Amino acid sequence: MFFRESDMKAEIHSITYRIPLTDAQQARLDRKWPDGDPLISYERIEALLAPLPVENLDWSHHSGQFLYVTVYGDDIEGTVAEVVERLERKLGK
């Protein structure tokens, strides 16, 4: 069975973005409590971004000075703009 081009259509479901962090933003994410736990946890950032359609949030000294987030849904560009705005409110510019 062969498919004609019109039989199947691919569409974007999600995109992983790499958002560059400023030195100040990275410093805020790197801050630790005296016991070594991060001052700003993944859970806090996830709660900050809820209920936006995002997942796979990641940042660490291994990923460089970037925050990675996978965005999905019908308005990917609008969601990315909202993610950046919320992060800037939390972490500064």
Closest to 70 in 3D by CA, of 58, 84, 88: 58
Show me where the domains of the chain are located: 5-91
Q: What's the predicted TM-score (pTM) here?
A: 0.82
pLDDT of residue 8: 77
Q: Does domain 5-91 have CATH number 3.30.1370?
A: yes
Cis peptide before 34 (omega within 30 of 0): no
Give tens-digit pLDDT for 11-43. 888 999 999 999 999 999 999 999 999 999 999
Sheet holding 54-58, edge to edge: 14-20, 66-72, 54-58
Using the 8-state DSSP alphabet, how is residue 16 labeled? E
C-alpha distances (whole Å) from 93 to each of 33, 84, 90 are: 23, 10, 9
Question: What SS3 string covers 45-68?
Answer: HHHHHCCCCEEEEECCCCCCCEEE
